[in-house]
Structure 1
Amino acid sequence: MSEITFASIESSHQLVRFLIVLGLCSERLMVLMMIFPPTSDNVVQGRVRTALALLWGSFIAYGQRGLLEQGDATMLVGIGLKEALIGVGLGFAASTVFWAAESVGTYVDDLTGFNQLQMQNPSQGQQTSLTSTLLSQFAIAAFWCLGGMTFLLGAIYESYTWWPLANIMPAGGSVLESFVLSKTDSLMETVAKLATPMMLLLLLVDIGFGFTGKVSQKLDLPSLAQPVKGALTILMLALMAAIFIDQVRDQLSLVGIAAEARALAGGK
């Protein structure tokens, strides 16, 4: 009886150790999925996201059996903080194209004057503009259809080779700072490139209605500019949908996310 009791206690201790290691191995992916728009609360529910993170993290946890034998609780806390930091960096790198699509929609709505008629988005629980919601959902759907999750998981698993779980030393604060600044610059540049065609078209409409209104002031043509700009915006979005997918296919499918992850580690 005592042998059975001892075996059960030992098994329970091993189970607790495995759950701790599983939590540490899943933290990097969990933090990334909380930031990443296609796996955020607006698309994937919390329980489903947690289950997926634990499932994909179990492959890493299987090879980390001796992790708890190498350090104490302080080391585990340090590893947890380090994993959260890596998850934030990878999530920021993977989310820029989706934030760019949403920013382009908001910018277009500002130019057309439709941003003052915001709607309550039930999926986000906050007010959003029509075009930004449309482009955001369009980018998320393209990510799943192009198989971007496969490349994202490949980058996550590859990140454990250049930054192992037991290695608590980070790549360096200066590397992370320069990485975040470069990704922010690329985000602003992407927004400017995607919004420029529609911005120029809407600017020409405003100039045309302005000159026409000066000639015939009794017709009150400036009041007609907003519906015309709205119709042209819808037409441009319909025509540029395929072009948008073709131009940012690699960014949406996250083909180069592994290279960006290596850049996060300082070229390791």
Structure 2
Amino acid sequence: MSPLLELTDAQIGGWVGSFLLPLFRIAALLMTMPIIGTQLVPVRVRLYMALAIVVVIMPGLPAAPRIEGIGLPALLLIAQEVLIGVMLGFALQLFFQAFVVAGQIVATQMGLGFASTVDPANGISTAVVGQFLSMLVTLLFLAMNGHLVVIEVLTESFVTLPIGGGFLTQHYWELANKLGWVLGAGLLLVLPAITALLVVNLSFGVMTRAAPQLNIFSIGFPLTLVVGLIIFWIGLADILGQYQPLASETLQWLRELAGAR
């Protein structure tokens, strides 16, 4: 009879470390990134996807440190991997939220701020215009294989940000400083619509001064709403030209956060 296979603690710890630690980074990214990390995708499906990605990329990953039981060093390594995955996922969330902010701004200007609906992806109430732009940018992101670029950057991050390589606090500070970019990008997206609606409101103000007997409230709101919808419809013709620079900047910034080429 052949002897039983004997495994040492070092071998078990090495195998667990090479599989479990990358799993935490990948699962953290899939739990926080847009599209996959929303409530539309069940948590069990996200975990299965994380397991599948780990199994595929594990043979090409650098050697991971060995885990010796559940102690403070192992918990610190797990926390580091979770932070890296959350950092990459939150960077993508900023890109998608820029379009949601743009929709909220233009909806408020045209009088559709009260027209809100429950966002099934996040479970919160958002303006209809913002929800429409969110769905549109999701379709554009998938059509241009943005999710494949994210998986590529995630795979390269195990080389540029190796497991157990220490916390990169400067990357987290860069992520915090990027929060203002969301509002700026949202304003740039709807700046033409805001300018046109401002001209319309100024025209109504001049009409009110010229003809005080004119009931501006009865005709101003419907006209502002109709003109706002027309301006928004015309602006959608250039949505691809607005999407591409922001998407390129976001993916490039994602590579810089991960230290990838």
Q: Which of 40, 51, 59 does residue 56 from structure 2 map onto?
A: 59
Matched, 1:264 2:257: yes
Residue 118 of structure 2 aligns to a residue whose secondary structure is strand
Q: Which of 27, 42, 45 does residue 45 from structure 1 map onto?
A: 42
Distance 1:166 1:120, change over 3 A: closer
Matched, 1:178 2:174: yes
Residues 101 and 186 in structure 2, CA contact (< 8 A), matched pair in contact too: yes
Give aligned pairs, total: 259
Distance 1:70 1:228, change over 3 A: same
Mapped partners of 1:250, 1:57: distance in 2: 31
Q: CA deviation at 1:45?
A: 2.6
Letter in 1 for 2:228: T
Residues 91 and 250 in structure 2, CA contact (< 8 A), matched pair in contact too: no
Letter in 1 for 2:203: G
| 1:201-240 aligned within 5 A | 201-240=196-235
Residue 113 of structure 2 aligns to a residue whose secondary structure is helix
Mapped partners of 2:82, 2:39: distance in 1: 21
Residue segments in structure 1 that go unaligned for 5+ positions in a row:
none
Q: CA deviation at 1:17?
A: 7.1
Residue 162 of structure 2 aligns to a residue whose secondary structure is coil
Residue 115 of structure 1 aligns to a residue whose secondary structure is coil
C-alpha RMSD of the superposition: 3.1
Aligned position for 1:191: 186
Letter in 2 for 1:52: M
Matched, 1:104 2:115: no
Q: CA deviation at 1:155?
A: 0.8
- Greater CA drift, 20-29 or 204-213: 20-29
- Percent sequence identity over matched residues? 22
Mapped partners of 1:124, 1:67: distance in 2: 35
Higher share in helix: 1
Q: TM-score, normalised by structure 1?
A: 0.82
- Greater CA drift, 70-79 or 205-214: 70-79
Residue 35 of structure 2 aligns to a residue whose secondary structure is helix
Q: CA deviation at 1:147?
A: 0.8
Deviations 1:33-74 (A, max 9, x none): 222222222442322222112211223433569646465533
Residue segments in structure 2 that go unaligned for 5+ positions in a row:
none
Matched, 1:27 2:27: no
Residues 205 and 225 in structure 1, CA contact (< 8 A), matched pair in contact too: no
Aligned position for 2:33: 36
Q: CA deviation at 1:138?
A: 0.7
Residues 101 and 183 in structure 2, CA contact (< 8 A), matched pair in contact too: no
Residues 67 and 74 in structure 2, CA contact (< 8 A), matched pair in contact too: no
Aligned position for 1:246: 241
